[in-house]
């Protein structure tokens, strides 16, 4: 105030340390009825800044809007940076922060043979539950109507029936539950299945799907799993119904190229962005697709053998979570933290994607000798 009233020192070196950063901006300052102004804005002294930041952020708007709101009223050096810091650390905003962008798609190479790696999924359609099993090699789909019974015994029974037909797979990729987060799988097996179930004759639709060439491989699922084309409703030359096995190397090459293209489009379409890896001890918030808000902070316990997957320590035990559902906690300020304290997003018991496991296992083996891995993506 004194320098404004009496004029700034001629030399920078004569300026008191506390206001040195403002020296070059001296001409913008003036006083108005005992208040320091900066051009037409009110200058806020250091002691009042945290309160003003709080007010700037009233209504919990984002950084850009807060800056706009502040810009016309108040000023101090570093105002813009302080707003960003404050908003970043607001616990309320962290709870309601938007779901993170998708991570770039990871696709996996085509397996070496049919029914080597399969995916299972449960979906609900018109009050019935369905088990969808799909083969990574052929994209062959098996649909079992479980009616209302989704007990693990019934699911295992249904899987065994399908495996009686095709044999025991090397790897089963499951997502343990009705809520499949993976867009790929939805796009692929579940969506395909639902399209069929919606029709008046789902079994006909299934036969047509299985006998129609798939773009990625150029062959029909039936051809790739049985080595022959089934006779369907369209007239077909008997020669085409003879067993014939495609060239596996050419097949793999075509699959690789198509997947590469698909990855490219996927990443572009969703603006996919890699999230930084988390280390044990990192503080994170959790939000799955069922949660409206991010949880209160929890700790990362460990990594898993799967990419983009971490074990987090919560009050109710350890849970495996996808990296996309974990947001790095940037610290918290004041706002209404208490009311959310200890709140972990609710999940459906027993059927979540989370595997409560104190020791993350690479895979486990079922009674029938299948190796079961828990992965969240079915790559196309």
Residues that bind Zn ion (CB under 5 A): 60, 90, 92-93
> How near is the Cβ of 69 to Zn ion at its closest, in Å?
13
Cβ nearer to Zn ion, comparing 65 with 373:
65
User: Which residue's Cβ has the minimum distance to Zn ion?
Assistant: 90
Q: How far is the CB of 96 from Zn ion (least distance, A)?
A: 8
Q: Least distance (Å) from Zn ion to the CB of residue 62?
A: 9
Minimum distance from CB of 315 to Zn ion (Å)? 25
Is there a contact between 219 and 246 (Cβ–Cβ < 8 Å)? yes
Residue 232 CA to residue 312 CA, distance in Å, equals 50
The smaller minimum CB distance to Zn ion, of residues 226 and 293, is found at 293
Nearer to Zn ion, 94 or 322 (CB): 94
Taking the complex as a whole, the smallest distance from the CB of residue 58 to Zn ion amounts, in Å, to 9
Nearer to Zn ion, 20 or 55 (CB): 55
Q: Which is nearer to Zn ion, 79 or 193 (CB)?
A: 79
Burial track 129-159 (b if 16+ CB lie within 10 A, e otherwise)? bbbbbbbbbbbbbbbbebeeebeeebbeebb
Q: Is 195 in contact with 205 (CB distance < 8 Å)?
A: yes
- If the CB atoms of residues 92 and 370 are measured against Zn ion, the closer one turns out to be 92
CB of 78 to Zn ion, least distance (A): 19
Q: Are 318 and 311 in contact (CB under 8 A)?
A: yes
Q: Which of 366, 290, 281, 354 is nearest to 317 (CA)?
A: 354
256-to-140, 170, 222, 346 alpha-carbon distances in Å? 18, 21, 20, 39
- Give the per-residue SS3 of 98-146: CCCCCCCCCCCCCCCCCCCEEEEEEEEECCEEEEEEEECCCCCEEEEEE
Q: Which is nearer to Zn ion, 96 or 265 (CB)?
A: 96
Nearer to Zn ion, 93 or 172 (CB): 93
CB of 223 vs Zn ion, minimal distance in Å: 56
Alpha-carbon gap, residue 285 to 334, rounded angstroms: 17
Phi, psi of 29 (to 5 degrees): -85, 145
- End-to-end Cα, the chain, rounded Å: 67
Shortest reach from residue 89's CB to Zn ion, in Å:
9
Under 8 Å between Cβ of 74 and 44:
yes
DSSP at 188: I
């Amino acid at each position: 105030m004194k320098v404004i009233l009496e004029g700034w020192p001629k030399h920078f070196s004569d300026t008191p340390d506390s206001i040195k950063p403002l020296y070059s901006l001296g001409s913008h300052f003036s006083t108005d009825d005992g208040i320091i102004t900066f051009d037409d804005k009110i200058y806020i002294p250091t002691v009042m800044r945290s309160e003003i930041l709080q007010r700037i952020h009233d209504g919990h708007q984002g950084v850009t809007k807060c800056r706009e709101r502040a810009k016309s009223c108040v000023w101090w050096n570093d105002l813009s940076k302080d707003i960003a810091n404050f908003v970043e650390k607001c616990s309320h905003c962290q709870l309601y922060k938007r779901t993170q962008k998708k991570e770039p798609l990871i696709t996996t190479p085509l397996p070496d043979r049919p029914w080597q790696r399969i995916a299972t999924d449960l979906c609900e359609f018109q009050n019935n539950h369905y088990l969808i099993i799909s083969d990574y090699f052929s994209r062959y789909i098996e649909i079992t109507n479980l009616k209302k019974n989704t007990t693990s015994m019934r699911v295992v029974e249904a899987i065994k029936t399908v495996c009686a037909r095709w044999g025991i797979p090397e790897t089963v990729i499951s997502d343990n539950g009705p809520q499949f987060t993976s867009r790929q799988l939805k796009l692929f097996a579940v969506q395909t299945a639902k399209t069929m179930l919606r029709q008046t004759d789902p079994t006909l639709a299934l036969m047509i799907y299985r006998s129609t060439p798939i773009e990625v491989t150029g062959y029909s699922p039936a051809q790739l799993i049985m080595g022959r084309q089934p006779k369907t409703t369209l007239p077909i030359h008997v020669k085409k119904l003879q067993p014939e096995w495609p060239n596996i190397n050419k097949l793999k090459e075509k699959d690789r190229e198509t997947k590469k293209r698909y990855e490219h489009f996927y990443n572009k379409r969703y603006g996919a962005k890699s999230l930084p890896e988390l280390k044990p001890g990192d503080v994170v918030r959790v939000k799955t697709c069922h949660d409206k808000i991010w949880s209160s902070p929890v700790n990362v316990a460990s990594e898993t053998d799967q990419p983009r997957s971490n074990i987090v320590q919560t009050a109710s035990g350890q849970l495996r979570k996808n990296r996309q559902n974990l947001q790095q906690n940037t610290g918290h300020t004041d706002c209404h933290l208490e009311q959310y304290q200890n709140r972990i997003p609710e999940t459906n018991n027993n059927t979540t994607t989370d595997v409560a496991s104190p020791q993350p296992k690479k895979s486990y083996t079922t009674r029938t000798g299948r190796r079961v891995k828990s992965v969240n993506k079915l790559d196309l």
